[in-house]
Structures are given as structure tokens and as C-alpha cells.
Structure 1
Amino acid sequence: MLLMLSQIIFVGGKGGVGKSTISSSLACNLSSQGKKTLLISTDPAHNLSDLFQVQLSNSILSLNPQLSILEIDPIKEAKHYTQKIAKENKAFVGASSYEMLDRYYKSASENAMTQESALFDRLISLITQELSSWDHFIIDTAPTGHTLRLFTLAQTLKTWSKTLLKYQQKNMHFQNILDTPSTHHKLLNKLQARYEKYAKFQGILQDPKLCSIVFVLNPDYLCIEETKRAIALLQNIQVHALAINKIAPLGSESFFENRYKIQEKYLQRIRSEFHHYKQWNIPLLDCDILQETQIKELLEEIFEKKTCNFD
């Protein structure tokens, strides 16, 4: 079974639909085909350490020669991110202001928006700097809103860094005339590097050969509506497939019969409204998935039944 996927696969969807399990199964199946795969969680409420029953601490852990996993810790990333910025900014102020800067950036590191931005920056750096080191990146994302912000942030940061770069380049003309210190040249180089990083990431996102997204949803009204909105908003990102997860079997009692009928109505709607996308039908299981073999078999069994297609 050869899985034909883009190099970078984001797995998105509403909270609780099974993104972590689907992401992990994708990663296990790809690595079993000899593909060097990095599975990354960007959800602050991480599940990978529980699924694989390992301890993760904001660094890449190799499970075997072909499969590695990483849970990005937003708190640690924010602390590292703000400390780095504080150090850079101290070059522009006197020593008397150092304590004030440290207090400011310590407070900033505890802000949720700072933590999310730092998490995104780590992910962007990983992808842009290590693209040639891995056959596949599987990104287990937080609920849909977080994923949408990630994709829009790439364009925002690219525009922002370009604006700052132009502003600094204009200033450089006068600074060169006045023979000011080389600190400004260092700042210009940093801005140029940031712009190039964000521009590269934006280009990767919009290249269907490099990047695509798999949306996970359950057969219910809210999941369908949220998936429709997400697809509409991500017009420049290739949608590879929909993973319809937790499809319940028909039961004999009236409660389960009624739920099955409701589910069938929504499955029919999914088939109709998303007919131009590949669809993977994944059953509701009668047990927890707590072993790597179970994780791999989740999608492997579906392929054998030919209820989905990776081509």
C-alpha cells in the first residue's frame, strides 16, 4: 500500500473529531512505506504523547528510523521567543532600560497571542529550514480556528516584514550618510531573513505538490457546516481529502436505529456537497487506540476495504 500524498499534510477540523488519531495513522502508514516522517502537534492540548505513550518535551523524539514526533510547547516557545527579542532590542537602548525590557517581555511571554505566534514561528522555521530533511511532515492542528489563523498569519507576517524591511531600507540611506553604527545593518539583515522565511512558507502552502490539508469530520450537522466554511476560507490551500470519522454501525435498539438514520442523512449530504473531494470512511471503534499497531491499522484496514483512495 503506497500512500500518494504531498510532502506536507495538515490535518484540520473541529475539536474532538479525531484529528490526532488520523494524523498519527497517516504518519505510521507513511513511515511503514520507508518514508522519513515527522509528525508535529500544534494543538496546545496535545494528544500525541498519550497516543504513543511516550514523554515529549518540545523536542523531536525518534520512535524508529523513519518516524519522529514533536509536540510544540507554546509556553516554552513564547519564553524563548521573547527572550531572544529582548536580547536583540537591548542593542538599541541603554543599560538602564534592560530591567524594564526584561519585565515587559516576561509579561508578553505569558500572553496567549504571543504563545500562539511563537508556536507558529517554530513550525514555520521547521518547515522552511528542514524541508529537504524529511519525506513528509504531518501537522496535527488544533481546532479549525487555530488552523485558519496559521494560514492567514503566513500572509500577514510576510506583508508585515516586507513593510518593515522597506522602512528600514529607507532609513539606511540616511544612516549611511551619518555614518551611524552597524547595528542598523544587522537589523536590516534580520528583517530580510524574516521576510524570506515567511515568503518561502507562503509559497510552500500554496504549492499543491508540497502542501495539502485533510479535513477530519464526524457525520453531524456542526462538523459539516464548519468544514464547508473552512474550505471556503482556504481557497489557496489544496484540500486532499475528507476523513469522515466515527461512523457508527446499525444497532438493533430504537435509540441506535434513530441515530443511524440521522447519521445516514448527514453521510449522504457529505457525499453530495463534497463529491469533488476524496472521502475516507472511518468506522466508530469499540475500543480505545493506545498502541502503535492499532494507530497504523486504523487507516490500513480502510485501504484494504477500498473505502478510500490516496491517489
Structure 2
Amino acid sequence: MPELVAARRVVVVGGKGGVGKTAVSSAVALGEARRGRRVLLVSTDPAHNLGHLWGADVGDAGTTLAPRLDAIEIDPERTTEEHLRQVGERLRRLMPPHLAGEVDRHLSLARDAPGMHEAAILERVAEVVEASLASYDLLVLDTAPSGHTARLMALPETLTTWTDGLLRREERARRLGEAERGVSGRTTARDRQGRTLADDPAAGVLGAPAGPVETEQGDRNAEIRDVLLRRRARFALLRSVFTDPAATAFVVVLAAERLPVLETVELAEQLRRAGVHLGGLVVNKRSPADGGPLLAARRAHEDQYLRTLDDALPQAPRVEAPLLPDDLVGAAALQRFGEVLGFGRTDVR
């Protein structure tokens, strides 16, 4: 595990709910921070387990959990509300004043539209990734359960393509508008007692100043295009980071049970289609072989499912973490868990 993480700038931790994603994310982040790297740990899981695990108030504004380790819990509701607020401000500025009521109606309907929360969270993740690459050595993303995570990994390409489509439509509309203004200018100019375009500066063509309405519309179009270009650049950066195996590794956490194993195989296929590299697997809460007949039988049962995992994902590196007697709460417990995952005791002061 340390070798996998040390070579990357981003580690995304995913898997089925309840398998220990937050514990693994936290142990990885703490282990790398203790090795001297500046680490940002970010949770996109609406369950907010990060603060509970560390016994700290993390929240959307973020906090410092340990030397060289900062953390943020992205709040989906707050993120969506902030996203809609920013979109609303932009639309009211770009649209004519008499359409303000229509803008409010559109945003009210959009609040609960399918995919709105994912899109808003992706915007925030894109901002965090962009900022973390400049300020931190490592970003560790603790994600929501598998279905949400798979969509999150696929969204950068989807939204980049969607934004490209909007830009092409904007470009066609701009050219059409220019053509219409050119035709209108010629007709108007020649209807005015046979004068040529050059004789009629009011036509707003051939270098003559456009009217105030044209100028205002042009300013709106320029701002819309600028917004779309910034959005495309942000999503393109996110996609390039997520799909670069030298920069990002996706680690799947699972239990050695039927459903988590099957879900892991499915998630690995979804990641492959999205172009995201599967860095490794963490099989958590493995039953001991020497804990009496019950646990020994349980471990033999787990071995059967892990053979299924080996057959489906033979190239994926795997770490197995034992079932622990106590709850993982606080930095000391997470440090011990990190040692189980292979992070040594070295602590850079």
C-alpha cells in the first residue's frame, strides 16, 4: 500500500457501504502525513463518518487533524445550494430583467432534478483537486458507496462533452447572429435613398459601432462563453487527473463476502470503462484462522469469495487487514491500523 500511494498525487478510496472506506482513507492519509507529505483528506460521503472516526469537527470548511494532514467533509446539501446560488446570480446577470421570475422557477425545478447533487459535488471536487495539486503533495478522496462513486468518476467526461456541445451551439448562434445583422444592415442601408453601407454608420457593420442592444447582447454572449470555457477547462483537468495512472490510483475496500466481492468486480469494470486505473484492493476485517472453530470456518468461507476475486481481477494488488477487537476512533487507533496496511512507524518531525 505505501508503494502504491507514494507514487501518486491522488488516491480515491471507494467500495460498498460499511466496509471501512473511511478508516482506510484516514489511515492512508495519516500514514503519508507521518512520512512527511502534505496531505488533504476529503470525504464526499453524505454520511459524514470522517468527523466521527477522528473524534473531531471536520465540516465543509475543513480542519487540521494531525501535523501535515488537513481534512474536509463536503456537505452535499450545502454544496448543491451554493452551486444553485452561483448559477442563479450568473443567470440573473446574463438574462434580461423581465426573465428573472423564469430564472427562479427554473432553479426551483432544478434543485431536485436527477443528477443535480452529483453535478454540484463534482464541481466542488474539481475545485478541491485543482487547489490541492497546488498546495498539497497528496489528495485522498473518501467517497460515497460504489454506485455514487462510479458516476462521479464518469461525470468529468460526460460534463466535458456536454459543455463542448454548449460551446458549439453558442458558436453557431453567434455566427448566425452576425450573419443576420449583416443582412439586416445591408437591407437597411440600401433602402435609405440608395446609400451604401459605408455611407451609413448607423448600420453597425463594416467597422461602424453597433447599437446599445447589440453591444449588451454581445457582452452577455462573451460572458457565457467565458463561463463555459472555464467549466470545460476545470472538468478536463479533473478527467486528465483521474484517468492518469501515474497521478491517480483508485483503491477499492471490500469485505470477503459475496455481495462486496461481486460489487467490487462490477465497480472495477465501471472504472475501466471510465478510463480510471484500479490501483489495488483492501480486503478489510478478515477473520483470523486461529480464533477457534467458528472464526476458522468463517475464514475458509471468505477464502472461497477471494478466489472469485482473484479470478476476476488477477492483476490487482491486494492488502488484507484483520478483524480488529476495538472500534477505530482517533489518531492513535488509525495509526495502528495504518501499520497493518504497511505504513511504518517513521514520523517526520
- Which stretch shifts more, 113-122 or 92-101? 92-101
* 2:82 is equivalent to residue 80 of structure 1: yes
* Counterpart AA for 2:330: Q
* Contact map agreement 2:36 2:68 (CA 8 A) in 1: yes
Deviations, residues 259-282 of structure 1 (Å, cap 9, x unaligned): 232112223443454331211010
Q: Measure, in 2, the Cα distance between the counterparts of 1:66 and 1:188.
A: 39
* Contact map agreement 1:11 1:139 (CA 8 A) in 2: yes
Normalising by the residue count of structure 1, what TM-score does the alignment of the two structures yield? 0.90
Q: Measure, in 2, the Cα distance between the counterparts of 1:292 and 1:112.
A: 38
In structure 2, the partner of 1:309 is none
In structure 1, the partner of 2:167 is 165
Deviations, residues 240-264 of structure 1 (Å, cap 9, x unaligned): 1100101011366554343232112
- Which stretch shifts more, 3-12 or 16-25? 3-12
Structure ID, larger Rg? 2
Q: Measure, in 2, the Cα distance between the counterparts of 1:163 and 1:252.
A: 60
* 2:201 is equivalent to residue 199 of structure 1: no
Deviations, residues 24-68 of structure 1 (Å, cap 9, x unaligned): 000000100111100010111121010111113311212244100
* Partner secondary structure for residue 199 of structure 1: helix
* Contact map agreement 1:75 1:109 (CA 8 A) in 2: no
Q: Indicate which of 184, 187, 203 corresponds to 2:224.
A: 187
Q: Measure, in 2, the Cα distance between the counterparts of 1:279 and 1:76.
A: 36
* Contact map agreement 1:42 1:142 (CA 8 A) in 2: yes
* Contact map agreement 2:11 2:141 (CA 8 A) in 1: yes
* Partner secondary structure for residue 216 of structure 1: strand
* Partner secondary structure for residue 303 of structure 1: coil
Q: Indicate which of 332, 337, 346 corresponds to 1:293.
A: 332
Q: Measure, in 1, the Cα distance between the counterparts of 2:106 and 2:311.
A: 53
Question: Offset of 1:192 from its aligned partner?
Answer: 1.0
Q: Evaluate the alpha carbon distance shift between residue 292 and residue 304 of structure 1 in structure 2; reply closer, same or farther with a 3 A threshold.
A: closer
* 2:297 is equivalent to residue 258 of structure 1: yes
What percentage of residue pairs aligned between the two structures are identical? Answer: 26
Q: Evaluate the alpha carbon distance shift between residue 167 and residue 110 of structure 1 in structure 2; reply closer, same or farther with a 3 A threshold.
A: closer
Q: Evaluate the alpha carbon distance shift between residue 165 and residue 19 of structure 1 in structure 2; reply closer, same or farther with a 3 A threshold.
A: same
* Partner secondary structure for residue 11 of structure 1: strand
Q: Measure, in 1, the Cα distance between the counterparts of 2:316 and 2:143.
A: 20
* Counterpart AA for 2:29: A
Q: Which runs of 5+ in 2 are unaligned?
A: 182-209, 345-349
In structure 2, the partner of 1:308 is none
* Contact map agreement 1:75 1:110 (CA 8 A) in 2: no
* 2:247 is equivalent to residue 210 of structure 1: yes
Q: Measure, in 1, the Cα distance between the counterparts of 2:154 and 2:44.
A: 16
Superposed structure 1 runs of 4+ greater than 6 Å apart: none
1:227-238 equivalences under 5 Å are 227-235=264-272, 236-238=275-277
Q: Measure, in 2, the Cα distance between the counterparts of 1:304 and 1:196.
A: 36
CA RMSD of aligned residues (A): 2.2
Question: Offset of 1:5 from its aligned partner?
Answer: 3.7
* Counterpart AA for 1:206: T
Q: Which runs of 5+ in 1 are unaligned?
A: 306-311
* Partner secondary structure for residue 283 of structure 2: strand
* 2:315 is equivalent to residue 276 of structure 1: yes
* Partner secondary structure for residue 130 of structure 1: helix
Normalising by the residue count of structure 2, what TM-score does the alignment of the two structures yield? 0.81
* Contact map agreement 1:242 1:280 (CA 8 A) in 2: yes
Q: Measure, in 2, the Cα distance between the counterparts of 1:100 and 1:247.
A: 56
- Which stretch shifts more, 292-301 or 176-185? 176-185
Question: Offset of 1:103 from its aligned partner?
Answer: 4.6
Question: Offset of 1:203 from its aligned partner?
Answer: 1.2
Q: Measure, in 2, the Cα distance between the counterparts of 1:206 and 1:257.
A: 40
